[in-house]
Amino acid sequence: MEHVTGKAYFRHCALTVTPDVLIPRHETELVAEHAIGMIRKNGYRSALDLCTGSGCIAIALATETQVQIDACDISEAALKIAQCNAESNGAKIRFFISDMLCDADGRYDIIVSNPPYVSETEYAQLNKSVRLYEPRTALLAGDGLSFYRTIAAQAGDRLIKGGALVLEIGAYQAKSVKALLKDGGLHEISVYKDYSGRDRIVTARKI
């Protein structure tokens, strides 16, 4: 079990991670940053962190804003870690098990997600330390786009009118993810780069 002290929007979070969850990365801090900015700008009051893992995004949103937040994951082990992290950071979050959005029973102002997006080919080339110590299910996504297809198909039904979607993506997936979201009926689709200048975040809105 490892303790991670976050920077940027994770700077106030003392997070415990195990091999059941991904280690929070700087790219994911940017996802939280964009989500928090949209919450503040638009006065959003409800949020869902999809594929929450360690809970780092949900905790950042809960501690930096007044949003009411739900967080879900398909992994019961991950949710136990996320719950412990939320309690350690005084974050009020409702956690529940869900295979993507299947068991989400509400509608939200904003949905945020860092879903699995590593293809089979990319996974075989990952550093051994990642493959051995971070969960395969939180990384691997078939051709890399399978989870985005599901999100694009389901998000519109779980967002209120005017609601937003914020996604972390792989560095070369922006064009494909934008097309999927457009086909899913979402609008105002934008792409933002990470600290290395690579496409890393896609945002969209339901209008």
Nearest to 1 by CA among 24, 19, 25, 14: 19
What is the rounded average pLDDT of the residues 3-24? Answer: 70
Contact status, residue 73 vs residue 48, Cβ threshold 8 Å: no
Nearest to 112 by CA among 172, 173, 70, 161: 70
CATH of the domain at 141: 3.40.50.150
pLDDT at 7: 43
Domain count, the chain: 1
117-173 tens-digit pLDDT: 999 898 888 888 788 788 888 898 899 999 999 999 999 999 999 999 999 999 999
pLDDT at 2 over 60: no
The string of pLDDT tens digits covering residues 108-133 is: 999 999 999 999 898 888 888 788 78
pLDDT at 14 (0 to 100): 78
Domain with 38, as residue range(s), is 2-205
pLDDT in tens, 48-67: 999 999 999 999 999 999 99
